Amino acid sequence: MASIDLKMAWRNVWRNPRRTMLTICAIAFACLLLVFMLSWQFGSYETMINSAVKIHTGHLQIQAEGYRDKNDIRLVVDDPAAIGRRLEALPRVDTYTFRADAFSLVSSKERTYGVLVIGIDPEREARTSTLSRSLQEGRYLEAGDADEALVGKLLAKNLRIVPGDELVLLGQGRDGSVAATVVRVKGIYASGQDDYDRSTIQIPLPYFQEVYAMGGSVHEVVVLGRTLKDVPVIKEAISEGLKSEDPESGLVVLDWMELMPGLVEAIQIDLYSGFIFYFLLIVVVAFSILNTFLMAILERKKEFGVIMAMGTTPGRLVRLLLLESSAMTLVGIFIGTLAGILVTWYYQVHGFHISGAADVLRQFGLPERIHPRLSAASILIGPAAVLIITGLTALYPALRVRRLRPVEAIAKG
């Protein structure tokens, strides 16, 4: 029954091969671009998040409530070891470490700057962040080290120091006392985040606790999950554990989104600007389709007149035309999506080199090589949008045929 309809639609699609090819190419190109771009965006976000997380934030942090906003040295995690034991019991936790922070003045022979002094556990830190791997000069801290420090690259430049030089730290201890000491520069690191490299120095945690009168307490327990997807589960588990043990603990669990609102914002802006571009792309394609079908229908008025004279109802004629437009758009969408998957898959395996990346992205430590990532969402969203919009566009010329009267159509020749 439908076979002649289908044959007819398919042959009509190819009556003007060049116009049809152009339209199919436009649709296919849009689908290809959408699949690639969305896979690219989703893939690069994951890369961005994963590398940003590993510079220092971690997937999650356990802190005293209010510490993130006030950075008050007195808001501490009293018993980090207990939390460590809890984390050991969670299979999705990959690794964790402890840190303590204090704002202090740091002076070299020539200059003085206000910086964030961070106390780290050298061994745990090496497993949790990229710090140990981002040393540019000197050496990383070791377990027995005390009055030694790692300094951010830009800060070292500002202070005009090299490994082996001495620095004076002057701050305030947890108990309000003056915290002052002299440390020797052991290494200089470049994390890739300029802000961080301009304003931080790292000293061993036990030494920090001594200088700043912290006792056994820390400010942050930094947690890495096995994958990004584990984050909500781990967060839930830790929160529950903390609450059930001691509802008054005053500790909170923050995930990377709460720790790096700037990154979340950058991703959102990128996503929105992407969607605006995609929308415009689809609108352009829709106009090309509109043009194709309006032309085709104007050219074939006489033919429609004959078909209607034979007794085809207007509704049936509309269906025939929609069959034609669907055949055409489906071919385009199929080819484009397939090509999009292949192209994206190639770059997913081999990576895509970007040298001129935007500053916003580099600020979050984006690596130079990015791998787009195919997913059901990145494959389907674009082509589905193209399908819907082109479908709606094809409706207009097809419905215009309803207004055609057979006698007028036949009279025009």
Q: Does 308 bind other proteins (CB under 8 A)?
A: yes
How near is the Cβ of 396 to other proteins at its closest, in Å? 20
How near is the Cβ of 411 to other proteins at its closest, in Å? 8
How near is the Cβ of 9 to other proteins at its closest, in Å? 9
CB 241: neighbour CB atoms within 10 A?
16
How near is the Cβ of 320 to other proteins at its closest, in Å? 10
Task: Choose the binding region for other proteins from 72-80, 194-202, 272-280, 299-307 (rule: CB under 8 A).
Answer: 299-307
Closest CA to 45 of 191, 256, 195, 233: 256
* 294-to-66, 287, 313, 396 alpha-carbon distances in Å: 63, 10, 20, 9
Q: Does 8 bind other proteins (CB under 8 A)?
A: yes
Residue among 284 and 309 whose Cβ is closer to other proteins: 309
Q: Does 15 bind other proteins (CB under 8 A)?
A: yes
Closest CA to 27 of 384, 333, 379, 397: 333
* 254-to-55, 67, 223, 232 alpha-carbon distances in Å: 17, 11, 10, 10
Residue ranges with strand state E in 161-225:
166-172, 178-189, 200-204, 220-225
How near is the Cβ of 377 to other proteins at its closest, in Å? 39
Out of 12, 57, 61, 217, which residue is the one contacting other proteins (CB under 8 A)?
12
Q: Does 314 bind other proteins (CB under 8 A)?
A: yes
Q: Does 229 bind other proteins (CB under 8 A)?
A: no
Out of 6, 7, 74, 284, which residue is the one contacting other proteins (CB under 8 A)?
7
Q: Does 4 bind other proteins (CB under 8 A)?
A: yes
Residue among 304 and 347 whose Cβ is closer to other proteins: 304
Binding mask 44-73 for other proteins (x = CB under 8 A): ------------------------------
* 336-to-1, 167, 333, 380 alpha-carbon distances in Å: 30, 61, 5, 12
Q: How far apart are the first and last CA of the chain?
A: 30
Q: Does 93 bind other proteins (CB under 8 A)?
A: no
Q: Does 298 bind other proteins (CB under 8 A)?
A: no
Asked if 299 and 397 touch (Cβ cutoff 8 Å), the reply is no
Out of 65, 123, 175, 303, which residue is the one contacting other proteins (CB under 8 A)?
303
3-class secondary structure, 340 = helix
Q: Does 310 bind other proteins (CB under 8 A)?
A: yes
* 220-to-99, 143, 251 alpha-carbon distances in Å: 5, 19, 10
Residue among 12 and 134 whose Cβ is closer to other proteins: 12
Binding residues for other proteins, how many (CB under 8 A)? Answer: 27
Binding mask 386-405 for other proteins (x = CB under 8 A): -------------------x
* Torsion angles phi and psi, residue 96, rounded to 5: -155, 165
Closest CA to 5 of 267, 319, 410, 334: 319
Asked if 223 and 58 touch (Cβ cutoff 8 Å), the reply is yes
3-class secondary structure, 400 = helix
Out of 74, 160, 243, 302, which residue is the one contacting other proteins (CB under 8 A)?
302
* Torsion angles phi and psi, residue 181, rounded to 5: -165, 170
How near is the Cβ of 4 to other proteins at its closest, in Å? 5
Residue among 314 and 391 whose Cβ is closer to other proteins: 314
Out of 1, 143, 349, 376, which residue is the one contacting other proteins (CB under 8 A)?
1
Q: Does 315 bind other proteins (CB under 8 A)?
A: yes
Residue among 392 and 411 whose Cβ is closer to other proteins: 411
CA distance 354 to 327: 38
Residue 101 pairs in a beta bridge with 118
Using CB under 8 A as the criterion, which residues of the chain lie in contact with other proteins when the complex forms? 1, 3-5, 7-8, 11-12, 15, 302-303, 306-316, 405-407, 410, 413
